[in-house]
């Protein structure tokens, strides 16, 4: 199946509610999320100076959302194109296509939600940057 986008892309989700009652944000498959969600996970209490990610996937597409706090992300495609993003609103997500090396740093209070297009498979991970670069 073809990825939805060929590079990292910011997605915007419509909030519903008010400051008096609070907010709800919905991300529906095919309307807001461009793939069938096969795995959901989240990260939290990440020390502020820690860099996470540092990998790519052969097949997996992902959407990352900073449900709370802020996440600074760097993404690199196999052609060398590099992108920088800041996620700091629960109404924005970042889509990662396959073959996108990504690195994240977090505020200590950050809660990151990840929606993935595949179940976990260790063989789908590219954890060696030299291997990733050799795919050009």
What stretches of the chain show up as alpha helix (H) in DSSP?
129-134
Percent of the chain with pLDDT over 70: 99
Instruction: Please report, for the chain, the start and end positions of each structural domain, with discontinuous segments joined by +.
Output: 35-134
- pLDDT band at 49; cut points 50, 70, 90: confident
Could you tell me the CATH superfamily of domain 35-134? Jelly Rolls (2.60.120.10)
Mean pLDDT of 15-34: 91
Residue 85 has a pLDDT of 98
Residue 2 has a pLDDT of 75
Tens-digit pLDDT profile for residues 98-117:
999 999 999 999 999 999 99
* Buried b / exposed e along 46-71 (16+ C-beta atoms within 10 A): beeeeeebebbbeebbbbbbbeebeb
Active site residue 55: yes
């Amino acid at each position: 199946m073809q990825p939805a986008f060929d590079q990292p892309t910011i997605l915007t989700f419509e909030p519903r509610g008010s400051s008096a009652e609070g907010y709800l944000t919905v991300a529906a498959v095919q309307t807001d999320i461009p793939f069938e969600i096969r795995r959901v996970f989240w990260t939290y209490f990440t020390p502020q100076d820690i860099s996470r990610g540092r990998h790519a996937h052969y097949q997996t597409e992902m959407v990352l959302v900073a449900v709370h706090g802020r996440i600074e992300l760097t993404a690199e495609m196999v052609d060398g194109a590099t992108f920088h993003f800041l996620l700091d609103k629960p109404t924005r997500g970042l889509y990662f296509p396959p073959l996108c090396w990504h690195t994240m740093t977090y505020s200590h209070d950050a809660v990151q939600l990840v929606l993935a297009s595949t179940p976990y498979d260790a063989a789908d991970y590219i954890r060696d940057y030299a291997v990733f670069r050799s795919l050009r």
